Structure 1
Amino acid sequence: MTRSTTSDAGHGTVWMASEALRALERERDQLEATPREHTQAQLVRLLHLRKLIQNADTAERADDGLVEAGMTVGLHFDDGTTDTFVLGERDILRGERVVSLGSPLGSAVDGHRVGETIAFTTPAGAERTARIVAAVPHQPE
């Protein structure tokens, strides 16, 4: 089975909606239009944008219950709480609740299916268990 994966470090393919790819390309084009005026932060951003665009995966995700980048995921935790988020790259899905594949929760759910139970350790050291109750292709607003 081949799946697209990434981490916050930007290695591998990066799932994104085609609209997000176009927005990144516009931002890159604007930065490249004024090369002599770049600050160090702008140069770093430009390099990051180029890598994201080069590794972009805009393929539509199958609605098959598999959790992978580009899916909206619903969880029901063992303490009765729930959470819904998009599994993907924070830099691309601005303004949405995003969990990255490189995070403890993101790596715990990646590759699992609806109905399965996952366990992970939070950055604060707490052990958590949750059941995956939804995994559907993300629809950008």
Structure 2
Amino acid sequence: MTDQGTIWLTQEAYDKLRAELDDLKGPKRQEIIEKIASARDEGDLKENSGYHAAKEDQGKQEARIRQLEDMLRRAEVGETPPDDGVVEPGMVVTIDFGGGDTEKFLLGARENLSEGDTLDVYSPESAMGAAINGKSKGDEVTYTAPNGKELTVTVVDAEPYKA
């Protein structure tokens, strides 16, 4: 996940990720260290499932810490975009692939979604995201999909994401 482009985040999403990182690097990291030490005190490490589980948890936690640090380093924090119908990061966009075949998604980062929200997310750097960024309701855009196929979509709607 390193060296990717900028991630657009709302201030709320940025603060949420920052709090998660602080928790993982502080209390949660200490908790894992204590679990490992406690399991180590139980004896033979080869057959100690508690020790191996704690080490596995530690590995997952450290990977999440690296992921969060990378995301926050690349984050561009912005306000919710205006409700002007222009496609930009932070907007819920509805596109028509033709014949009424529509799709609705958030243009931005998954971290901007409220917990439990199942809306699809497209990156502004994706082929379609880059093609529709800056377009308005009614604009038709042709772009090359990752499979090399030319696709034409029409922007049906663009409104700010509301958590």
Query: TM-score, length-normalised on structure 1?
Result: 0.76
Larger radius of gyration between Structure 1 and Structure 2: 2
Q: State the distance in 2 between where 1:58 and 1:129 align.
A: 29
**How far is the alpha carbon of 1:60 from its aligned partner?**
2.1
SS of the aligned residue for 2:110 comes to coil
Q: Point out 4+ residue stretches in structure 1 off by more than 4 angstroms.
A: 35-41
SS of the aligned residue for 1:101 comes to coil
Structure-2 residue corresponding to 1:78: 98
Q: Name whichever of 111-120 and 88-97 sits farther off.
A: 88-97
**TM-align CA RMSD:** 2.7
**Corresponding letter in the other structure for 2:5:** H
Match of 1:11 among 5, 14, 18: 5
**How far is the alpha carbon of 1:9 from its aligned partner?**
5.0
**Corresponding letter in the other structure for 1:80:** G
Question: Taking structure 1 as reference, are residues 56 and 40 closer, same or farther at Cα in structure 2, changes over 3 Å only?
Answer: farther
Native 8 Å contact 2:83 2:159 kept in 1: yes
**How far is the alpha carbon of 1:80 from its aligned partner?**
2.8
Structure-2 residue corresponding to 1:118: 141
CA-to-aligned-CA distance 1:89-135 (integer Å, 9 cap, x gap)? 23543742101112111111112112211112223333211111111
Q: Name whichever of 129-138 and 90-99 sits farther off.
A: 90-99
Matched residues, percent identical?
Answer: 31
Q: Name whichever of 38-47 and 55-64 sits farther off.
A: 38-47
**How far is the alpha carbon of 1:40 from its aligned partner?**
5.0
Bigger helix share: 2
Structure-2 residue corresponding to 1:29: 22
Unpaired runs of at least 5, structure 2:
34-56
Native 8 Å contact 1:119 1:129 kept in 2: yes
**Corresponding letter in the other structure for 2:126:** S
Structure-2 residue corresponding to 1:4: none
CA-to-aligned-CA distance 1:19-58 (integer Å, 9 cap, x gap)? 3223212210122112785845543432332343342413
Query: TM-score, length-normalised on structure 2?
Result: 0.67
Unpaired runs of at least 5, structure 1:
1-7
**Corresponding letter in the other structure for 1:124:** N
**Corresponding letter in the other structure for 2:122:** V
Q: State the distance in 2 between where 1:105 and 1:96 align.
A: 16
